[in-house]
Amino acid sequence: MPVVTRFAPSPTGSLHVGGARTALYNWIFAKHHARFGDGGWFLLRIEDTDRKRSTQEAIDAIYDGLAWLGLNWDGEPVSQFSRASEHRAAVGRLLAEGRAYKCFCTPEELAKMREQARREGRSKLYDGRWRDREPSEAPAGVEPAIRLKAAEDRETVINDLVQGEVRVGNDQMDDMVLLRSDGTPTYMLAVVVDDHDMGVTHVIRGDDHLTNAFRQMQLYRAFDWQPPNFAHIPLIHGSDGAKLSKRHGALSLDVYRNDGFLPEAIRNYLLRLGWAHGDDEIIGTDQAIEWFDLDAVGRGAARFDLAKLTSLNGHYIREADDMVLVQMIMKRLTQPNDGKLAEEAESRLNKGMVSLKKRAKTIVELTEIAEFYVTDRPLTLSKKATKAINQEARGHLSQLKSALAGLDDWHQQSLEEATRTYVEQVGIKLGKIAQPLRAAVTGSTVSPGIFEVLDVLGREESLGRINDVLGSG
Ligand code: GLU
């Protein structure tokens, strides 16, 4: 049987790490079945029924975040709000069949009931007082809410694909509201009708929804619909074991994106956050699609570890295509800004990337360490770099500059040979000249190999930069 999953975010803020993981598991499960099973679809439903809190900005952030993560959904996204008439029609059927009823309680009555239930420690907040009453007894001027006539026998059992068998006595659950007195559908109703109409076979979501699942099961029963398989995945905790919150660092996916994390690294990290395949840490998406199953989702809360994510990101940066990385950092570099310079900068970055990318764990870091290749002369030297260019170093730099300027061939190897010849001639160690040279051409005391740097910068730019420091003082 084909598998249909869905991601059903409420658009009330940015897409956060937990939501992204839920989306990923749903996507990957569908992809697995598309490739190895009878078919798989991953649908997107925007749960925008809370009109006060839902915003278009948040909806766009969901589309954008999912697209960035590479989690493409099938078909058009469904707006839950726009399906209100389907939700109402479904309740109409339940009413006609006597499986739902009109409740004419006033807000004051309900508040009193709730208060009393709380005092008595009962989980049933509503006492079912309109369950068997005739609507003809209705007080004037009160618009009714529609409630489910929930089964009171036995218990509701869910064979959750992650949590195992979970059950609750039906006497613990009161008759839930399906339509409010203003006619608006409740969330619980909307979710069930939508999942049914969308043909969802697997509901994979955070375990904060487990208690909702019991109520939703009651509804499936009332509708005589086949319920989906449920898989409630444990929430993400911070490294201290407490539920993930702002104080553990950023929750929003956007922040990681801006901080220079790659989607493939985030995918790999989120995948492993709650799911395992032996001890494998680095699992590319293609491999993940092959291996993923719900059996191996852990029952314990996963801990979010930024250091681990960062180190995975470093791995994916090293693996990434050089040209792709260059395009990413070009967008972040303040320079170059005009056409000619941009072209020159791009070719330098393309050439230098193979070494640069070994030294960065995020795109932000990569941009910082690449910047010297494209900054305009004269460079601003760091304190350490300024110190490295002392009087003695100046003398050597000046002589070495003449030696390099005389080279016919400006390449890493010839540059190194010429420099080694120079240090042998004057009887100094290579470090004595390499460090001031690095300081002069990069403005810093750390960089990729100095001869590679000279090669990438080219003759004119390298000699110009050396001149700049020699001229200034
Ligand atoms: N809209 C709910 C949320 O954002 C998810 C509901 C569900 O997956 O059933 O938490």
Residue pLDDT, tens place only, 406-437: 999 999 999 999 999 999 999 999 999 999 99
Mean pLDDT of 50-75: 96
Please name the residue whose Cα sits nearest to atom 4 of ligand 1. Answer: 9
Rounded to the nearest whole angstrom, what is the distance from the C-alpha of residue 10 to the centroid of ligand 1? 6
Residues within 6 Å of ligand 1 by CB: 8-10, 47, 191, 205, 209
What pLDDT is attached to residue 335? 60
Rounded to the nearest whole angstrom, what is the distance from the C-alpha of residue 152 to the centroid of ligand 1? 27
Pick the CATH number of 238-316 from 3.30.465.10, 1.10.1160.10, 2.40.110.10, 1.20.1250.20: 1.10.1160.10
Angle in degrees, 0-180, between the axes of helices 391-405 and 412-426, rounded to the nearest 10? 130
pLDDT digits (tens, 9 = 90+) for 139-174: 888 899 999 999 877 899 999 999 999 999 888 888
Domain extent listing, the chain = 3-75+188-234, 84-186, 238-316, 320-374, 383-471
Contact 16, 50 (CB under 8 A): no
pLDDT greater than 90 at residue 324: yes
Mean pLDDT of 185-203: 98
CA distances for 188 relative to 115, 147, 185, 218, 257, angstroms: 23, 11, 8, 10, 33
Class of 3-75+188-234 in CATH? alpha beta
pLDDT greater than 60 at residue 473: no
pTM summary value: 0.92
Residues with catalytic annotation? Answer: 246
Confidence of residue 244 (pLDDT cuts 50, 70, 90): confident
Pick the CATH number of 383-471 from 1.10.150.120, 3.30.70.3270, 1.10.10.350, 1.10.10.60: 1.10.10.350
Average pLDDT of the chain is 94
Contacts of residue 278, defined as CB under 8 A and 6 or more positions apart, other chains included, come to none
Q: Can you tell me the distance from the alpha carbon of 251 to that of 408, in angstroms, rounded to the nearest whole number?
A: 55
Class of 84-186 in CATH? alpha beta
Q: Pull the structure tokens for residue 432.
A: 């004595």
What pLDDT is attached to residue 338? 60
pLDDT digits (tens, 9 = 90+) for 332-384: 987 655 666 678 889 999 999 999 999 999 999 999 999 999 998 999 999 99
Rounded to the nearest whole angstrom, what is the distance from the C-alpha of residue 312 to the centroid of ligand 1? 29
pLDDT digits (tens, 9 = 90+) for 310-319: 999 999 999 9
Residue 181, classed as helix, strand or coil, is: coil
**Where are the alpha helices (H) located in 357-429, listed in sequence order?**
363-370, 383-388, 391-405, 412-426
5 CB-side CA count, 13 A: 26
Q: Can you tell me the distance from the alpha carbon of 202 to that of 205, in angstroms, rounded to the nearest whole number?
A: 10
